[in-house]
Each structure stands twice: as structure tokens, then as C-alpha cells.
Amino acid sequence: MKAKVTLAKEFKIGEIDKRIYGSFIEHLGRAVYGGIYEPSHPTADENGFRQDVIDLVKKLNVPIVRYPGGNFVSGYNWEDGVGPVEKRPKRLDLAWGTTEPNLFGTNEFMKWCRKADSDCLMAINLGTRGVEEARNIVEYCNHKSGTYWSDLRISHGVKEPHNVKTWCLGNEMDGGWQMGAKTATEYGRLALEASKVMKWTDNTIETVLCGSSSRNSSTFGQWEVESLDIAYDNVDYVSLHQYYENRADDIQSFLAKSLELDEFIYSVICAVDYVKAKKRSKKTVNLSFDEWNVWYHSNNAPYERWSVAPPRLEDIYNFEDALVVGSMLITLLRHCDRIKIACLAQLVNVIAPIFTKTGGGIFEQTIFYPFMHLSNYGRGVALKPLVDCPKYDCKEFTDVPYLETIATYDEEKGEMAIFCVNKSLEEKLCVDFNMLDFNGFKVTEFISMDGYDKKAENNFDNVSVKPHSNPVPQTDNNILTVELQPLSWNVIKLSV
Ligand code: AHR
């Protein structure tokens, strides 16, 4: 099969906010305990942070990590997680049916972020709690000194404020599974008031309003409009969450989910801008896609109720999942003019690119690599490619382009990268990239993941599903010709 792609500097979609390569750590399963924090692990530092985990997080180059939930946050008392560890209470976590020992909390997480070269996207509890607790945690984290909460932080050994810049106003508040779920109007009012006093406490912060818990949620659309109608002037972002699955073992429909994702993003932009227009507002509310991934392999795994940090949501990812994750990231970048934050959910053990054994080893899941490539090389501006390629029909979609692609251009560094997925199960795709005004470009590397069984996975003994380098493809004047293997993830790095 053949395809043509045209690229030019003028085809700019927008600046890529580095926070689009964010991730997520929730007090859930072994994300914290046995994941980022395991004092008895041979690689643990003086804080109990696993160094082997930090090393892989650094490879992923994750600029922001959402914390502490997720569903967990809707019942969390942040005060339980600060101060002398021996005085911290154990609590039932009703979100995940486990016991939370509170050995790790806000200050530990902020320290971990610094070690991992990351910032924190902090979520507050608007399920069982409200405005008072919201302002208190901002004062605890961000106020320098001389007040009750800031001095309490200092008495906990943290002299300098954390200066958390961005705050999520609760989590999935439309969902019946959420402690303290709300109607759109109830939530809109609470989010408005919480955001208002949080910003009065620290006028440099930004806040994220909860959108619907997914596109499939019955509240979707109406929730965004109704809650934003109330809170628009006081919030900076609206959140989106979406997970995909392949229970039907229909790889063609699974790979085509990025089309649905594209539509989902577009419809949220429409809902936000409808409220903007209705209010005759000059302010633009952007998008925080703060949970996205493939999630379904582990859903029915048994666990011991009320135990501490049992294995939960431990999806082991395969090669087709990596292609879907790559396609999802490409789709997010296609909307980087409006998506400023996105979080791969999650980071370690729980539906995650990094997998550990408690007390033991670690490995990179298949989905680790497309994320690593985009996060490291997909910087600068995103360019909209003009694509002419064959398409396929499948059970859930029609007219699915075999080629999913995006280009990024970092003018300052003189670097460019083109990311491609070939969704054909059998056929190679020969792509001519017409590099209009990129005179004198040079291909520096051509990396791919291909040739694997679609269900191939990595494990502790064998990380076989991983990228490899290929011979540098041919160029003829401004035409770059690249052959993409069937079912493949591809990265073409160029100097410009
Ligand atoms: O990421 C796992 C869970 O998925 C989160 O806790 C929740 O927000 C979502 O439903």
C-alpha cells in the first residue's frame, strides 16, 4: 500500500505544552506502596523511594504527575497523610475496598516529584469534603509561613512551600461509584466556591473542573455545559477521562478507537466554547485529559478486601495495546492547541507503563515505549499532516485511515520528529513525506516496534517487545520515503 503525507512549518496546530506528557499516581493497589514507595526494597533511598522506579520514570520524562486520586481522593482526608508517621490514622478506603495506612502523603509525594523531575497536579476531595478543606490544603502547601496551616507544614519539617500550581477540583463527580457523587448543578456550585477560595488563598494557581467521567457516561455533554455554566469564570481547564479495551478481540476496531477519541475531544471543545459564547466571555477554558489509557486486562482479578496495597488493576499490556496507546497520544497532540495537560493513567503497577515486583525486579511494559518516544522527541510545536492514504472498514467504524501520524518541530533545537502507526495487519505501507519547506533536512534515526505477535507481552525475565533502530530511509530532494511494516509503531527523527 502507498500513502502520501505533506508537511510544512505553516501547518502549525499549536505549541505543545510539556504537561501533555503527564501521568498519574493514585493511592490504589501497588502504585504507591510497592510501587514508588517501598522502604525495604534494595534500591530504596533514605526516603523509601524505589530508585529503580525513579530511573524509569526519568526515562519517560514525565513533567507532571496527578495525585492522590482518582476515586480514592473523593474520600481522602489529606490531613491524615501529613505529620509524624506514627500518629497517622489507618482508614478504610471505600473506593477500592482496601486499608490506607497513610505512611505516604502530600509531603512525601512532593519530595518524590522533585526526585523524579516532575511537578504535581494535586486533586482535592470534593466528594465527602468541601470548601473549607480545599482552602486549607492550598494554605498548607503554598503559603510561605505565619498562618496555622503554613506553620503546621513547617512544623512537619517542610520549610519552603510546595507551590503546587494546578489543582483538580475533585474526581469524576458525575459517577455513582464516587463517594459523594453529585448532579452537575450541585457540583458546579461546589467547584465554583472551592476554586474561588483556593484562588483567594493563592492567586497564582489554576484549577481543573471535572468533566464527565467518560464519553460513555450518561451525563456526557449536558454535565460539561451545566457545570461550566456555573463555574466558567473561576476555572481554567475542564477534565476528560477515557479508557479503551479490546474484550471482543477485534483488533481493527480497537486500533480505530483513536477516531472516537478525536470526536470526543472535539465535542468537549464544542461544549466549552458554547458556554464561552453564551457568556460572551473573552476567556478560553482549555482541556486537561487527566486520565487516559487502555484498561481491561485485569478487571476481574480477585483481591483481599481491606488489605493494604493488594495488587489491583495490574494490566499486563501487549503489543496491540502499545499501538493503541501510540495512536491515542498522536490524537492528543492533534488537539494540542486546546489540550494543555494529559495524564497517562497510571504510572506504576496500576494500569501502568512501569511494572514492579514488591521486593524484587521491574520491567517496562509494551506501552512504555510509544509514551517515551513522544515525551522525549515530541516537543516544540505539533504540525498537522495532510494525509492521503488507504482506509478500512471494521465492525465499529468505517473509513479508518491505515496511517495514524503527527509531526512535531522544535525550531530552537532544529529537531523534528514524525510518529506513525501502520494499522494494517498484513501490508506494508510505503509513505512519501513531502517536506515542503524543510529544505536540507536530514534523517538522524528511524526507530520502530514491529514484527511482534499482537498479543506479545513483556515480563520480568524478558522485555522482548521494545523498539529497534532501522537503516535511515531514502530522501530525494524534499521527498522522504519510509516503509512502515504491518502493525507497527514508528518514529522518524530529523535534524532541520
Ligand atoms: O485510574 C483508575 C480509576 O479510573 C480512577 O481512580 C478513576 O478516576 C477512574 O474511574
Provide the percentage of residues in the chain whose pLDDT is more than 90: 98
Catalytic residue among 79, 172, 206, 320: 172
Under a CB-based contact definition with an 8 Å cutoff, are residues 328 and 406 in contact?
no
**DSSP assignments along 387-422, one per residue:** EE--EE--SS-SSEESEEEEEEEETTTTEEEEEEEE
Q: How much is the average pLDDT of 303-310?
A: 97
Nearest to 376 by CA among 21, 9, 13, 54: 21
Q: How much is the average pLDDT of 470-474?
A: 93
pLDDT in tens, 114-162: 999 999 999 999 999 999 999 999 999 999 999 999 999 999 999 999 9
How far, in Å, is the centroid of ligand 1 from the Cα of 70?
A: 5
Under a CB-based contact definition with an 8 Å cutoff, are residues 133 and 78 in contact?
yes
Looking at residue 299, its pLDDT comes to: 83
Q: Which residue's alpha carbon is at the smallest distance from atom 5 of ligand 1?
A: 70
Could you check whether the bond before residue 440 is cis, i.e. omega within 30 degrees of 0?
no
Looking at residue 424, its pLDDT comes to: 98
Q: Which residue's alpha carbon is at the smallest distance from atom 7 of ligand 1?
A: 70
236 Cβ below 6 A of ligand 1: no
Whole-number average pLDDT of the chain? 97
29 Cβ below 6 A of ligand 1: no
Residue 418 has pLDDT above 90, yes or no: yes
pLDDT in tens, 367-415: 999 999 999 999 999 999 999 999 999 999 999 999 999 999 999 999 9
pLDDT in tens, 209-236: 999 999 999 999 999 999 999 999 999 9
Could you check whether the bond before residue 68 is cis, i.e. omega within 30 degrees of 0?
yes
Under a CB-based contact definition with an 8 Å cutoff, are residues 384 and 14 in contact?
no
Residue 396: active-site member: no
69 Cβ below 6 A of ligand 1: yes
Q: Which residue's alpha carbon is at the smallest distance from atom 6 of ligand 1?
A: 70
Atom of ligand 1 nearest to the CA of 28: 6
171 Cβ below 6 A of ligand 1: yes
Confidence of residue 293 (pLDDT cuts 50, 70, 90): very high
First to last CA, the chain: 28
Residue 139: active-site member: no
Looking at residue 474, its pLDDT comes to: 86
pLDDT in tens, 29-55: 999 999 999 999 999 999 999 999 999
Catalytic residue among 38, 291, 320, 404: 291
- Whole-number Å distance between alpha carbons of 282 and 284: 7
How far, in Å, is the centroid of ligand 1 from the Cα of 358?
A: 22
346 Cβ below 6 A of ligand 1: yes
pLDDT in tens, 260-272: 999 999 999 999 9
Under a CB-based contact definition with an 8 Å cutoff, are residues 260 and 214 in contact?
no
Count the alpha carbons within 13 Å of 302 in the hemisphere toward its beta carbon.
1
- Whole-number Å distance between alpha carbons of 464 and 321: 15
Nearest to 64 by CA among 140, 187, 142, 164: 164
Count the alpha carbons within 13 Å of 23 in the hemisphere toward its beta carbon.
26
